[in-house]
Amino acid sequence: MRTATEDSLLSDQRLGPDIGIDSYEQLFPVPSSLSDEFHPRSDFGLSVNETFTHAVWVSQRRDGDLRRLSLVHIDLKTGRHNTLVDEDQLPTIHITDTTSSTTPRLHLRRFTADSSMFIYQLGGKVIYVDVGTGRVASTFPIETNTTNSPRFSPSARRFTIQHSVTDTSKPLPQPPPRTGSDAPPSSDRWITECFDFTGTRTPLNAVSNVTTPYWLDDDHIVLDLKDKLVLISADGSTTRQLLPPTP
């Protein structure tokens, strides 16, 4: 895999949306021409770290009838840039494709708190990339039937995902099926899992309703279980009910 090097920005590459930050206009590429009716898609967002010192954007290059994508890191203090993710690692889009997403779907997630790594999601994989070298630091395969986006801890070195599983052996009570439906009763249980940068994957709970996880700090998660709030350690070793108070 190639390491990140300082590249020359091509004339037909530019940011997707116009971000309107006058003091940083000189840092971003502007097309010298849009010949052959090539118009960079504007539905790929820009991701900036919390201190506004680093940014990642989706570069778009025309190659015949294809739109090739790559992820470019920009140091907002110096204007230096390097390719984090090459074109061969990302999906291509046909020039005539006007849909709002790629296949597999590409999401720019965030920087880690120390800005040493950038996190993006490609389909069912959450990928950490070293900002300095462009090398993949960690890859996490996740369930595709998730109910929400990854929720990252304050450092972003941990995240939670919720996904559903169907257990037909012990179905939960359900209303009668609709008229004309003879589907057997089933039970959707929602599992909250914690992923650690070291590669650890820890199931935290499995309940019949969708729960909402909130990071209290890098080691603790608060789960809203509808009728109570529960504090769970990120490694799943301890659980404590917060509300309502236990006797």
β-strand partners of 207: 190
Indicate if the pLDDT at residue 18 is higher than 70. Answer: no
Q: 244: which residues sit within 8 A by CB, 6+ positions away? A: 228
Per domain, the residue ranges of the chain are 1-104, 142-170+186-247
Average pLDDT over residues 144-166: 83
CA-CA distances (angstroms) from residue 104 to 49, 139, 164? Answer: 25, 16, 20
Average pLDDT of the residues in 164-182:
51
Give the pLDDT of residue 207.
79
Q: What is the pTM of this model?
A: 0.75
Element containing residue 191 per DSSP (H, E): strand 188-196
Res 177: pLDDT? 45
Q: Of 178-182, 205-209, 227-231, 232-236, which gets the smallest average pLDDT?
A: 178-182
**CA–CA gap between residue 79 and residue 201 (Å, rounded):** 37
Residue 134: strand, helix, or coil:
coil
Between 239 and 98, the more confident residue is 239
